[in-house]
Homo-oligomer: A and B are copies of this chain.
Amino acid sequence: MQNSKGKYFDFDKECRKAGLKVTLQRQEIFEELRLSTDHPSAEALHERLRIKLPNLALDTVYRTLTTFANKGLINRVETAESLGRYEAIHSRHHHLICRRCGEIKDFTWSLLDEASLPDNVGNWGRIDSKNIVIYGLCDKCLNNS
């Protein structure tokens, strides 16, 4: 993505716009995350990048992900394992989480996105996000049990 002419997302540009220096580590971490569809953890990303960047430190991955999330370049997702996991930002979606294998599947539900909240919420405050989290057993795990 270094020199992409904005094909998908001009990372270098967005990075600088956020006031961050463009480094190889940041480029690669973002790219790996962008290509991942499974909400990897910091450790998982570190593992995957070991071939490309053998010297990459795990704490750099943590720091980078935190920085990206703070700058709004990526989203942090709370999961079943009480473990911080991350995702490249894409469209509004909800989560199906398998209790067994931990896999997280996204799904969209525009009907809900547009629905207004029930009265008993009242004027709780300012709402930033509204997400459904569904737990269960995915098809694979159901068949292997």
> A51 contacts the other chain (Cβ, under 8 Å)?
no
Q: Of all chain B residues, which has the CB nearest A142? A: B125
Bound CA span A137–B108, Å = 24
Q: Give A residues with C-beta under 8 Å from B.
A: 78-80, 82-84, 96, 98-99, 105, 107-112, 115, 117-118, 120-121, 123-142
| Chain A, interface SS category | mixed
Q: Write out the residue numbers on chain B whose beta carbons fall within 8 Å of the beta carbon of A141.
A: 125
| Contact indicator B120/A107 (Cβ below 8 Å) | yes
Cβ distance A125 to chain B, nearest Cβ, rounded Å: 4
| Contact indicator B78/A80 (Cβ below 8 Å) | yes
| Contact indicator A135/B125 (Cβ below 8 Å) | no
Task: Please judge, given known A-B contacts A82-B78, A109-B117, A118-B109, whether A128 and B135 are in contact too, CB under 8 Å.
Answer: yes
